[in-house]
Chain A
Amino acid sequence: MSRPVNRREFLNLLAAAGGAGAAIQAGTALGLLPASAGASTLDLTAGNGRSAVILGGGLSGLTVAYELGKAGWDCTILEASHRCGGRIFTVRHGTLIDEIGNRQYCEFDDEPHLYFNAGAARIPSTHRTVLDYCRELDVELEVFINENKTCWVQDDAMLGGKPVRNVEYTTHMRGFMAELMAKAMNETEMDAPFTDQEAETLLGMIRRFGDLGEDDVYRGSFNAGYASGGFIEHGVQKDLIAFRDLLKTRLGANLMRANEGETGPVLLQARGGMDRITDGFLRKVGDRVSYRAMVASIQVRDDGVEVTYDQDGARRQIRADYCFNCIPSHLVTGFEHNFPEDYVRALKYIRRGEAYKAAFQAKERFWEKQDIYGGITWMNNPSRQIWYPVAGIHKQKGVILGGYDFGGGMYHTRMTQEQRIEAHLADGEKVHPGYRGLVEKPVTVAWHRMNHMLGCAGFWTRILDGAWSTENETMYRRLQAPLNGRHYMIGDQISKHAAWMESTLQSARWAMNDLDRRLRNAPA
């Protein structure tokens, strides 16, 4: 008869079984260890007149300027473009979209709710660093709706291209899957390592999961919505969609895993546009930013870093004790520099991201008349998604995302602006008849061609979402470590989870902590 283990023993057992990482996670859950460092706990040695030049006014650069500034450092940010924020980019009335070869000015009406987050658009509630900075910088947040069961699913291959509600698709699919599971349970139950009690519990769960009949057969469900009635009159069940028809689309793989992983937790957004986060930082460090300052040369010395840059038609120079660089790696390789060969090789190793987004202003919020308030429609066409805004519910107009290629993106990027717009109109028309007449004032953001960026989130692995090779790891560690103890590459490009603000912020904080440790350990 074993005695119950106490919490300390439990932690020790976990540490032995799963490594310290497991113990740390469980310890946090048990309330024994402090939660991961919040935004205000970064411990940097006092500035003592130290200086830093920060290359790029992206989120990581702003974070370094803010934190080092708090510690008394003298910081200067050199930003090549006319704006800070990098891929935190909110497009609204008058915004310049500086795509090389396809410059656009946004013509949306000038109203607070008519904006489009062309870059960062979602903050998972588990991304503590982002949320802590939002709190610290007074950035107002609101809930973002990612999955919405009343949104549509459309695939030319399914039901003759007729769109169906997400809830219909997923309810029926669950029903059919549950039927399979129930049958499998009944057939294998004798051999299964379950007690009768466990088997009954599991079967009960399967039946509820799929809304099966008592005979474990799925015949449709009110969960898929009513064809009519439901309040004063009895609800009439919608027609069942055949299992075989549901399997005509591969979108099911996305639909059935929605609200998993990164989009699983409650998601948030900055009220009025994600660039309110940039604004929050700029309220603190805006006077440290030098705009339209394009880096020409980076020379890393033993006692500091010299940066040459072009601004107002003149070549200027700045010298600082340390340099934090969030410029995309594929642009850094084009500067004059004195980097060693292996460092350059690592810079060249990161692949340029290709993600692409497009948006329209809608003359009326036609989706709300279809019970859609926020959320995402999935389409099996190159535009892939339509996002409906949370901002401005029940107002006259709204801005909808009309296309988002989060994997590739070159399909639309290689089109002319007119071709891109036509492609999104044609795709959207399949879900919303009359779409062409309902939307106007298009904007497209092809990150691969945006001036001073030329790429969306970079990726290290050669296979998208693939495992990290030893080579990946070696290159990554080379770039993460400071060059000569003086030059830090930062940003989501120096993370294992690019494309999230959390990675960007943690990368900046990793670099500052590393420098802090070096300064503390340096001989006096």
Chain B
Amino acid sequence: MKRIWILIACLTGIAAGGAAAAEREPFDDRYCTTCHGTDGRGNEGVQAPRLAGMEPWYLKRQLENYRDGIRGAHPDDIEGLAMQPMAARLTDESIQDIIEWVGGWKYVPAEHTISGNIEAGRELYQPCATCHGVDAEGNEALGAPALAGQNDWYMVTQLRNFLAGYRGVHPQDVYGAQMRVMTAGLSDENDINNVVAYINSMSD
């Protein structure tokens, strides 16, 4: 009896879906490249960072954080606020689909747009290397993504956000909280530019 009910539910579901599909535009959740550019290589025009080459575990965590309001909820996190609703309706399946899609994109280091004192940046980077690696290659075990090759303007924005408490303040954002602690050593915009300039130098 139970099985029959399920069968009926499936049939009516399909029939209703079929009727709607006949007159409605189809869609999927593969929206990423509208903002993040060709093959997810980042687009400064809309402040959307490079996704190509991003580690699947990091991408998954961030999409889930956005979806669950752990990231991109602070009223002053302008870029995060733009991203958050894009992820709000993603299901676990569509997140998995996006990760597989992004995984197919070729990694190309982002072009450099900012300048700073690389030597000063090298000093500032030493604590970062503990988690992100001496070559900024990332470390999955520590939950730290690669930084080399990422859009420099994006890293500047995120460091500012951590410093200002726009990111990493949600109680469930464990890794974000760590970043808040680590960025406390950056005293001003100059420091931020210098450390990012050093990270840039690693993908030259």
Q: Give the residues from 36 to 89 in chain B that come closer than 8 angstroms, CB to CB, to chain A.
A: 36-39, 41-46, 48, 81-82, 85-89
Q: Mark A315-330, 1 if CB is under 8 A from B, else 0.
A: 0000000000000011
Q: Are B46 and A94 in contact (CB under 8 A)?
A: no
Give the complex CA separation of A452 and B31 in angstroms: 9
Give the complex CA separation of A295 and B42 in angstroms: 15
Query: Which A residues touch B88, using CB under 8 A?
Result: 101, 416
Query: Which B residues touch A333, using CB under 8 A?
Result: 37, 43-45
Tell me the interface secondary structure of chain A in the complex: mixed
Q: Are A101 and B39 in contact (CB under 8 A)?
A: no
| A414 interfacial contact with B, CB 8 Å | yes
| B186 interfacial contact with A, CB 8 Å | no
Query: Which A residues touch B85, using CB under 8 A?
Result: 100-102, 414, 416, 449
Give the complex CA separation of A347 and B44 in angstroms: 11
| A513 interfacial contact with B, CB 8 Å | no
Nearest CB on B from A356, distance (A) = 14
Q: Are B34 and A100 in contact (CB under 8 A)?
A: yes
- Closest residue on chain A to residue B66 by CB atoms: A101
Give the complex CA separation of A322 and B39 in angstroms: 25
Query: Which B residues touch A294, using CB under 8 A?
Result: 33
| A240 interfacial contact with B, CB 8 Å | no
Q: Are B36 and A82 in contact (CB under 8 A)?
A: no
Nearest CB on A from B42, distance (A) = 7
Give the complex CA separation of A96 and B20 in angstroms: 12
Give the complex CA separation of A26 and B111 in angstroms: 53
Give the complex CA separation of A103 and B44 in angstroms: 25
| Total chain A interface residues with beta-carbon distance under 8 A | 32
Q: Which of the segments B22-30, B133-141, B191-199 contacts the partner chain? A: B22-30
Give the complex CA separation of A87 and B88 in angstroms: 25
- Closest residue on chain A to residue B48 by CB atoms: A334
Q: Are B43 and A331 in contact (CB under 8 A)?
A: yes
Query: Which A residues touch B34, using CB under 8 A?
Result: 80, 100, 331, 451-452, 454
Q: Are A105 and B35 in contact (CB under 8 A)?
A: no
Q: Are A96 and B46 in contact (CB under 8 A)?
A: no
Nearest CB on B from A341, distance (A) = 10
Query: Which A residues touch B23, using CB under 8 A?
Result: 94
Nearest CB on A from B28, distance (A) = 10
Q: Give the residues from 41 to 75 in chain A that come closer than 8 angstroms, CB to CB, to chain B.
A: none
Q: Are B37 and A348 in contact (CB under 8 A)?
A: no
Give the complex CA separation of A454 and B83 in angstroms: 12
Q: Give the residues from 94 to 146 in chain B that come closer than 8 angstroms, CB to CB, to chain A.
A: none
| A206 interfacial contact with B, CB 8 Å | no
Give the complex CA separation of A451 and B45 in angstroms: 15
A336-B38 contact, Cβ under 8 Å, with A102-B85, A330-B46, A449-B85: yes
| A332 interfacial contact with B, CB 8 Å | yes
Q: Are A101 and B81 in contact (CB under 8 A)?
A: no
A454-B86 contact, Cβ under 8 Å, with A100-B34, A331-B34: no
Q: Mark A100-117, 1 if CB is under 8 A from B, else 0.
A: 111101000000000000
Interface residues, chain B, with chain A CB atoms under 8 Å away: 23-25, 27, 31, 33-39, 41-46, 48, 81-82, 85-89
Interface residues, chain A, with chain B CB atoms under 8 Å away: 80, 82, 94, 96, 98, 100-103, 105, 294-297, 310, 329-336, 347-348, 352, 414, 416, 449, 451-452, 454
CB-defined A-B contacts under 8 Å, sample of 28: A94-B24, A96-B27, A100-B35, A100-B86, A101-B85, A101-B88, A101-B89, A102-B85, A103-B89, A296-B39, A310-B33, A329-B45, A330-B43, A330-B45, A332-B45, A333-B45, A334-B36, A334-B42, A334-B45, A335-B37, A335-B38, A336-B41, A348-B45, A414-B85, A416-B85, A449-B85, A451-B34, A452-B34
